[in-house]
A and B are shown apart, each in its own frame.
Chain A
């Protein structure tokens, strides 16, 4: 379209722009005005991340044509703060309402519109006003609390302390507002798509529209020459290195650009690099390629086409754990239950699509992108592009949610290739559809199991079989296949046990890591059987679990004797009074309800923190600069879970300085040592322990230098290190001392690798150094005429060992529960049909009920200050507890997830037949 002049008042400043009248307001704000606080999550009005105020009303900027806002007052997140943050921004920080922060501007603007119209909204009104913004991290409860707090509500749950008010030695266990939080609420945070260089080339990815197809490229040179904006077209033939990547090197099998055939819908086959100014008018549909669709299969099956020649029957890997004599013990049991469960592909649906840019810095390729695993990105990108690893630098941006999928490379080799080949900066932000097609998913599982118990309700045996659809390439399939048999017993003493798992290739999207690595699926199998077992025995369902809970001194199904720190019984016991109350409430509710039936369900989790029987080190560097600041080189990527804050808290207490003395550096592969990937619930435990070790080592150095004992206290004041012990006070002028290459006067770097052992041929050994535990109770109502579920309350007891930051721990729990709700009730990714956020449903603010968190602290001997991992555990019990509650309400177990209204009603009708 012909450009026109558009006049706007943006945050109080008049702006005149000459633009295409149909430019989206989101693009106008971000690309023309540099106001990147307005986020683009879907470009379709499905996520609300781009919400801005137009003449005071909330509007999705991605759906507003520039011409429609001509002459309007536009307010964006950048306009909320004056001299200081607004009350609403403060409340978001204080209540932990921002985790990754990508949706935060949208919520802040939608809430501003509400509060300006109605300064005293109730919770119902808050939910109605914010219903159009999706969040994948927080579970929404803390967002509601923050808005209600501004509205004058007194009881809004836990709120943060100012970091500056936290005294020396008391950081661990306190709840400072997240240390990286301010940019998340004022719009300055830079996510993957927020700092693109102006003169860059845009990268367009050509993808397979078929689940399985051969392709022949046409005349690329002719195509390139026909459009002067195209700077280059790149295919697998241009990949300078080994065109094969994968998160587990031994299983690497995925080309960055497919060679001759695509194995799944959305697989990249070519790149078109063009001037950014031409992107708006570029149509990729005439790219010269001929497709020949091939037979495909989206579910495992014996007659499926073989995807990888070296993998017979499409079997990627098998997992196996056996203990005792499961067959004879099962026969000897007094009670047995059997069942099957089928789960769906689940999409991570972080609100930030994958994005980043690449530039050449001399002969070093610098990739600035969102990620969970900078060092793995570096290694795979270097391999694909034929560069030595030291010639690739990964600079993680803020990451707008990951949940496992941003462990795998996405944009990195694609923009890297263009930057390398053209010498120009290259930028790429996936569209929502691209993100959903190309990224990994949770493995769909088809499982069967059998559990036996004796007359007293003690578990005597369990047998489990699970087939996990791992999609077209390996990704984390081996991890899922290995984790599942180790965990499928649940946190219960199971003396006789056999679990088989298999990861099988199909032409579905690549299944990878997603919060729990297969354990959430397996737990649905086990926990729903426990309810049926309790009914058969005539035991209370919670008491059956308490009676069988693992205790200190018990051996797990891998024969790992847990000497101490086993907190599952404490979690289940913490639920007891709630359980009694809920059962009582349920009874009276169902006396009056006709077609609204209430149910209560419970389920547990356990989860080993860190890699399964594999090395898993983290290294942390900490130094004291000449100007008297503590510099923490913290390479554990904070994707919203809070590692920046938690690891700082650990370091502060281990070093013995107030939290506010610590400056964060990183993550950046050139600035921070490798703290491993943000995965496997390992950062608080493993990187936290590395931080503790480094900080203690640094403290020891200082104490030795000052010749004082460990009873001394440290303080930093105006370039001086003040050391006090008894009456002795020494002030060390740091500027007068020699400094090292990083300009640190004192520094220490330590590595921690959790002690594990390999599993033998029967899966026996010590796969993890630390387990975390939890149990959740769900109260809900089922409308038995429509099959709809209304969640009333979720009570969650999690043993975190030591809550380093209780506010952030609660945030993890609430967010994990929201994802569990989605998995249980609505989420099913179908390639080709749900590649957007209106056909693929994740919970909204109206779908997450009040959550009561009980933090149980059974310290672990290994973890820093006794802490255990938490991030994945929190999702695991939710779905089985919901299914158990639905069964309690209706008498029927839904065995295929998600339990949509249609499936629930069908199960109820079947049971009546």
Chain B
């Protein structure tokens, strides 16, 4: 019979993880759909009693999102404008019912190419905190997710937090999701943008696109092209950008050709939206 454990402290959880292989369970919103009607044969490590991992805190260097923080908690949290993209994405994760229980960390560990949470965290330069009995390591989010449903988390590790460096908590951000219906929709493409703007000039741009490659990608080439440019030129630059980081596939939702066109367009719109929110902030 598979084991079930519900530790109440992180140390207890790490001790269990050191013993054998477990399937960590938090919001369970990906757990059951993946399971279907098959009997559960994995050991399940229920994280829902780890109160330490809940909530958003600030350290000298980071804003830290505890692994059990739900999307609804993100929506309701008071966070700087750089987090607007994440908040907008939070409202698009599944449905309210999902947002109420699904966690940010679960979204990352599930590592779907269409995970709504990834692009907004990529533009915040987030990293993930992985703890085991052997110690703690921090891995940039862009490195942590390595493929469709694949991450660098080792079996004995627990993802305990997502950290956003304070240096990146700057500027304004926005998120655009494109799907074939209004609610409960898996993205055809999505884009998150964070801009630091002064005197009509883009000082820094961070742009990420999801569902257009096996793992959501930062568009570093485009970002550097935008840096130092007048905001009025942004659209034109996006229109001509190569976006070599993207490698969309054809699937039931859209063709790869469409995804590339759409990605360019929603990046452009996310930039416009960020700029207009920047204006309204001032």
Question: A: which residues have CB within 8 A of B?
Answer: 1-2, 4, 21-22, 24, 43-46, 48, 51, 54, 57-60, 62-65, 67-68, 110, 113, 127-129, 131-134, 280-283, 285, 431, 433, 785-788, 825-826, 828, 830, 833-834, 836, 838-839, 841, 843-847, 900-902, 905-906
Contacts and interface: CB of A to CB of B under 8 A. Distances in A.
B95 A45 contact: yes
A65 B262 contact: no
Given A132-B96, A901-B262, A839 B252 contact: yes
Given A58-B97, A906-B258, A1 B40 contact: yes
B180 A131 contact: no
6 contacts: A21-B6, A22-B40, A62-B32, A787-B258, A847-B181, A906-B255
Nearest to A131: B183
A838 B185 CA distance: 7
Nearest to B46: A67
Interface in B21-40: 25, 27-29, 31-33, 36-40
9 tightest Cβ-Cβ pairs between the two chains A and B: A132-B95, A846-B182, A131-B183, A902-B258, A44-B33, A902-B254, A844-B183, A1-B4, A57-B100
Given A21-B6, A281-B39, A283-B38, A63 B255 contact: no
Nearest to A281: B39
A858 B124 CA distance: 64
Contacts of B181: 825-826, 841, 843-844, 846-847
Given A45-B33, A132-B183, A900 B95 contact: no
Given A1-B44, A68-B46, A132 B98 contact: yes
Contacts of B183: 127, 131-132, 844-846
Interface in B204-256: 252-255
B161 interface: no
B38 A48 contact: no
- Scoring B4, B181, B184, B265 by chain A CB atoms within 10 A of each residue's CB, the highest score goes to B184
Nearest to B254: A902
Nearest to A434: B37
A64 B33 contact: no
B188 interface: yes
Nearest to A113: B96
B274 to A, nearest CB: 18
A431 B32 CA distance: 13
A131 B184 contact: yes
Given A58-B100, A63-B29, A132-B94, A21 B4 contact: yes
A64 B252 CA distance: 29
Contacts of A127: 182-183
A285 B37 CA distance: 11
A383 B265 CA distance: 59
Contacts of A1: 1-4, 40, 44
B28 A826 contact: no
A367 B40 CA distance: 32
B28 A46 contact: no
B16 interface: no
Given A21-B46, A826-B181, A128 B32 contact: no
B51 interface: no
B101 interface: yes
Contacts, number: 158
Interface in B255-270: 255, 257-258, 261-262, 265-266
Contacts of B174: none
Contacts of B101: 59, 63-64, 68
B192 to A, nearest CB: 17
Nearest to B26: A68
Nearest to B256: A902
Interface in B137-185: 178, 180-185
B202 to A, nearest CB: 22
Contacts of B188: 901-902
B252 A45 contact: no
Contacts of B107: none
B50 to A, nearest CB: 12
Interface string B88-129: 000100111110110000000000000000000000000000
Given A21-B6, A24-B32, A110 B97 contact: yes
B69 interface: no
A43 B32 contact: yes
- Scoring B2, B31, B36, B266 by chain A CB atoms within 10 A of each residue's CB, the highest score goes to B36
B56 interface: no
A648 to B, nearest CB: 36
A433 B36 contact: yes
A21 B47 CA distance: 13
Contacts of B39: 280-283
- Scoring B46, B97, B185 by chain A CB atoms within 10 A of each residue's CB, the highest score goes to B97
Interface residues of B, number: 48
A886 to B, nearest CB: 14
B150 to A, nearest CB: 21
Given A48-B97, A905-B262, 11 more contacts: A2-B1, A63-B28, A63-B29, A127-B183, A131-B95, A131-B183, A283-B38, A786-B262, A900-B254, A901-B188, A902-B255
B111 to A, nearest CB: 17
Contacts of B178: 786, 788, 901
B276 to A, nearest CB: 16
Given A21-B4, A68-B48, A785-B265, A63 B32 contact: yes
Nearest to A821: B181
A786 B265 contact: yes
B72 interface: yes
Nearest to B29: A63
Contacts of B265: 785-786
Given A67-B46, A68-B48, A901 B180 contact: yes
Contact of A51 (B72, B97, B185): B97
Nearest to B92: A131
A127 B95 CA distance: 11
Nearest to A790: B182
B82 interface: no
Nearest to A844: B183
Contacts of B36: 43, 431, 433
B195 interface: no
A590 to B, nearest CB: 20
Nearest to B264: A785
B69 to A, nearest CB: 15
A843 B179 CA distance: 12
A65 B252 contact: no
Nearest to B188: A901
A835 B183 CA distance: 19
A721 to B, nearest CB: 53
Contacts of A902: 188, 253-255, 258
Given A22-B44, A132-B94, A825 B33 contact: no
Nearest to A55: B100
Contacts of A134: 184
Contacts of B186: 838-839
A129 B44 contact: no
A132 B184 contact: yes
B37 A43 contact: yes
Contacts of A826: 180-181
Contacts of B185: 841, 844
B95 A834 contact: no
Given A24-B32, A131-B182, A844-B184, A65 B95 contact: no
B77 to A, nearest CB: 16
A64 B28 contact: yes
A843 B181 CA distance: 7
A431 B257 CA distance: 35
B48 to A, nearest CB: 5
Contacts of A128: 91, 96
Contacts of A59: 97, 100-101
A275 to B, nearest CB: 15
A841 B254 CA distance: 13
Contacts of A833: 252
A425 to B, nearest CB: 21
